[in-house]
Amino acid sequence: MTADQLSKPESTRRRVIGIFLGGGLLASFASFLYPVLRYLVPPAVPDLGGDEIVAAKLTELKPNSGKIFRFGNRPGLLIHTASGEYRAMSATCTHLSCTVQYRDDLRQVWCACHNGRYDLNGRNISGPPPRPLEGFEVQVRGDEIFVRRRREA
Amino acid sequence: MSSLRNVSNWLDERLEWDDLIAPLRKKTVPLHRLSYWYFLGGITLFLFVIQVLTGILLLLYYRPGANEAFESVQYIMTRVRFGWLIRSIHSWSANLMIFTAFAHMFSVLFLKAYRKPRELTWVSGVILLFLVMGFGFSGYLLPWNTLAFFATKVGTEITGQVPLIGKPLMIFLRGGEEVTGATLTRFFGFHVAVLPGIATLLIFLHLLLVQRLGMSIPQKLEVQWTANPSAKQEMKFFPNFLLRELMAWYAALAVLGALAAVFPWNLGVKADPFVSAPAGIKPEWYFLFMFQTLKLIPSKVWFIDGEVLGVLAFGLVGLLWLLLPFFESDQPSRPKRWITGLAVFALVYIVGMSVYGYLAN
């Protein structure tokens, strides 16, 4: 403590008390705010979809057509190509998350929101989409078409 | 500090807000041994603000509708982080607010603060008290649990007893003949839109009147201070009284937090219209005195149905209560004794009947 402070003990005491009181008040406000901030963040919704689902029956899709199916909490797109192959991919456009569709006249995947286009492998080929659509594995077992996420190699 | 002052000057140049807050600087609060009662209105206002804030937070997750309401409150209580705390604070604060509003009213009554020129302050305050009870009644149904379901059934049924307008009023409140999901939708609308809108306007009016007319002082002191102005003691509202009021709010918040954390509010069992009412079912404590009175009235009094008589009596008492200041004398030296007697009787009756209702089977 300097001589100057010793000569003014009252103001120093006042400052110390002020710091304690103000700090305590601020800390209590933080404790009011913290629960509110945590409350504002919604709890994560569990993805009940699992890894594999039945996207369609074998007889459901004609060649050169597509179908939106539910994969967990998000839509997926199953395509029966004109050549008879099945392809499946995420139906959420990588641009701004609209749901894409199969256009049989273009033979492409098309997003109506901003005219984004993908080829049948989900690669972005024209318009604003920045990335390809996530592709899924397709398996035909019996008369059902199974779709599953690709395992990371 | 200087930048803060700059902002303040900038605003003042445009809005001339110094003129706006000038009355607040001039405002004083009389100092006497009953000055503590002046805090109650402010605490009630603070709890109302808490209600608005926590209510908005609950709206982020609550879903009205017979199939979703209970589940969404359950979700708030169990899954959302601190959801139990927010809901418990909302419920506890509601109850404390009703309590402080009643206490505020009785303090005004006993200090005779409703006298000329403050009749309209009293009228707006009593309407606010009715609104607060309306908040309680409508909010109680929103979790859609068994107790709430039957409380609403009985409460709206009582409304239906009023001659002539009762039946249409009941159907209006219920959104149909029975208490259903339609009732829940309506009550939700009343609770989060209609009542808050009216209450906010009335609170502004109430505060404006308090500001305009200044604080009332007890009659004896008024006579003394008028005779001898040098005996007058007062405190500046800003900042002296305001800082004390803020401390009271802080203490109220501590009580609220402790109650909500130690006694979280129950959710109960989901309402089922085809299940019998549980034994010992009672309304919330602030309706108990009316509930108990209605229970005590015989089913027929002379040729009138007991229920109808009770409802009409409460309606009449409520109306007279609203108009009470207009029966008081203009002279502070000659107050009407019977009004003081009535105030004592009302307090004893409400407390007595509430306790009786709480203890009775």
CB-nearest partner of B86 from A39, A41, A43: A39
pLDDT band at B330 (very low <50, low <70, confident <90, very high): confident
| Contact (Cβ atoms closer than 8 angstroms) between residue B218 and residue B233 | no
CATH number given to A53-149: 2.102.10.10
Between chains, do B57 and A43 touch, taking CB under 8 Å as contact? no
Which chain A residues touch B255 with a CB distance below 8 Å?
A: none
Closest chain A residue by Cα to residue B254: A28
Between chains, do B57 and A35 touch, taking CB under 8 Å as contact? no
Window 39-98 of B, Cβ < 8 Å to A: 57, 60-61, 79-83, 85-86
- Compute the distance between CA of residue A77 and CA of residue B150 in angstroms, rounded to an integer: 49
Distance from A29 to chain B by nearest Cα, in Å?
Answer: 10
Between chains, do B80 and A42 touch, taking CB under 8 Å as contact? yes
Residue B3 lies in a domain: no
Residue B11 lies in a domain: no
- Pairing relation of β-strands A108-111 and A101-103? antiparallel
Q: Alpha-carbon dihedral of residues B297, B302, B305, B308, nearest 10 degrees?
A: -70
| Contact (Cβ atoms closer than 8 angstroms) between residue B249 and residue B43 | yes
pLDDT at position B27, please? Answer: 86
Mean pLDDT of the B186-215 span: 95
Q: Is A62 on the interface with B (CB under 8 A)?
A: no
Between chains, do A36 and B86 touch, taking CB under 8 Å as contact? yes
Query: What are the φ/ψ torsions at residue A101 (nearest 5 degrees)?
Result: -145, 160
Closest chain A residue by Cα to residue B84: A39
Of the candidates B106, B90, B56, B119, the one whose C-alpha atom is nearest the C-alpha of residue B267 is B90
Of the candidates B1, B11, B26, the one whose C-alpha atom is nearest the C-alpha of residue B238 is B26
pLDDT at position B221, please? Answer: 87
Between chains, do A39 and B79 touch, taking CB under 8 Å as contact? no
Q: Where are the domains of chain A?
A: 3-40, 53-149
Q: Which residue in the block uniquely carries the two structure tokens 């890894």?
A: A51
Between chains, do A36 and B82 touch, taking CB under 8 Å as contact? yes
- Pairing relation of β-strands B234-236 and A86-90? unpaired
Residue B293 lies in a domain: yes
Between chains, do A39 and B57 touch, taking CB under 8 Å as contact? yes
3-state secondary structure A108-126: EEEECCCCEEECCCCCEEE
| Contact (Cβ atoms closer than 8 angstroms) between residue B103 and residue B111 | no
pLDDT at position A48, please? Answer: 58
H/E segment holding residue A148: strand A144-149
| Contact (Cβ atoms closer than 8 angstroms) between residue B158 and residue B293 | no
pLDDT at A3 over 70: no
Residue B5 lies in a domain: no
- Compute the distance between CA of residue B297 and CA of residue B289 in angstroms, rounded to an integer: 13
pLDDT at A45 over 80: no
H/E segment holding residue A17: helix A9-40
pLDDT at position B84, please? Answer: 96
pLDDT at position A92, please? Answer: 94
pLDDT at B316 over 90: yes
Question: What's the distance, Cα to Cα, between the start and end of chain A in Å?
Answer: 67
User: Residue ranges of the alpha helices (H) in chain B?
Assistant: 2-15, 17-26, 39-59, 69-78, 83-110, 119-141, 146-159, 166-174, 181-189, 195-213, 219-227, 242-262, 288-296, 306-322, 337-359
Contacts of B199 (CB under 8 A, 6+ apart): B48, B128, B131, B132, B135
Determine the 3-state secondary structure of A69 from DSSP: strand
Residue B190 lies in a domain: yes
Q: Is A46 on the interface with B (CB under 8 A)?
A: no
Q: Is the peptide bond prior to B239 cis by the omega test (within 30 degrees of 0)?
A: yes
Closest chain A residue by Cα to residue B247: A25
Which residue range(s) make up the domain with B344?
Answer: 32-359
Residue B110 lies in a domain: yes
Mean pLDDT of the A52-68 span: 91
Q: What CATH number is attached to the domain comprising B298? A: 1.20.810.10
Q: How many domains does chain B have?
A: 1
The CA-atom distances, in angstroms, between B339 and each of B69, B119, B265, B296, B324 are 45, 14, 39, 26, 8
Q: What average pLDDT is seen over chain B?
A: 92
Residue B6 lies in a domain: no
Contacts of B245 (CB under 8 A, 6+ apart): B39, B42
Residue B10 lies in a domain: no
Which chain A residues touch B79 with a CB distance below 8 Å?
A: 43
